[in-house]
Amino acid sequence: MPLTPTPTPPPLPLGRRIPPVLWKVINRFMRAVLGLPFPTPLGRRLMLVNLTGRKTGRHWRQPVSYVRHDGVLLTPGGGNWKRNLKPGEPVRLHINGRDQMAIPELVTDPHDVSDSLAVIIAANPRVTRFSGIGVGTDGRPDSERLDQALQHGFAVVRWRLDPPHV
């Protein structure tokens, strides 16, 4: 009886392969560069989100990627930082050297997440490396990997800028 090869599991997302200590160093550098009062090349795809911890009350700035689409910003929401977003409460973003207020909307519906993630991946294919959600043969996010990510808390954050300067 011939042996069937076992499929190799997909690689872990880049965000899970990099040790947390290294992320701290990377994020410290990113906060410094993205927090500058003028545009930088990194600011075309990354911004700082100013957050307040829901339990600790501590303030910090989280570097996240974003894509502009139809008057809003879309951010893939892996990680725990999005737990500190409160529905309808404005958040200060630092984008290309400027502070901008935005209202976050956490998108969790699988169909809406898939549509939003397809837009994000089309504009910034590197997102697949960090999220671990690849692209299927139809050019859309891989549905099986997306379902797994959604079960582990993945979402998309839709930012409505106030006033809209997109």
Q: Is residue 9 part of a domain?
A: no
For 43-65, write each residue's pLDDT tens digit.
Answer: 999 999 999 998 899 999 999 99
For 101-122, write each residue's pLDDT tens digit.
Answer: 999 999 999 999 999 999 999 9
Q: What is the pTM for the complete model shown?
A: 0.83
**Mean confidence (pLDDT) of the chain:** 87
The parent domain of residue 86 ranges over 16-162
Residue 7 in this model has a pLDDT that exceeds 80: no
Helix, strand, coil percentages, rounded to 5, for the chain: 35, 30, 40
For 63-96, write each residue's pLDDT tens digit.
Answer: 999 999 999 999 998 888 999 999 889 999 999 9
Q: Give pLDDT, residue 6.
A: 54
Q: Give pLDDT, residue 90.
A: 95
CATH number, domain of 104, equals 2.30.110.10
**Domain count along the chain:** 1
Residue 15 in this model has a pLDDT that exceeds 60: no
Q: Is residue 10 part of a domain?
A: no
Residue 10 in this model has a pLDDT that exceeds 60: no
Asked if 159 contacts 103 with a C-beta cutoff of 8 angstroms, the reply is yes
Q: What contacts 49, CB < 8 A, 6 or more positions away?
A: 61, 62, 63, 64, 75, 81, 91, 93
Q: Is residue 6 part of a domain?
A: no
Q: Is residue 143 part of a domain?
A: yes
**What stretch of H or E contains 100?**
strand 98-107
Q: Is residue 46 part of a domain?
A: yes
Q: Is residue 2 part of a domain?
A: no
For 130-145, write each residue's pLDDT tens digit.
Answer: 888 989 888 899 999 9
163 vs 120: which has the higher pLDDT = 120
Q: Is residue 4 part of a domain?
A: no
Compute the radius of gyration of the chain from its Cα atoms: 17
Q: Is residue 111 part of a domain?
A: yes
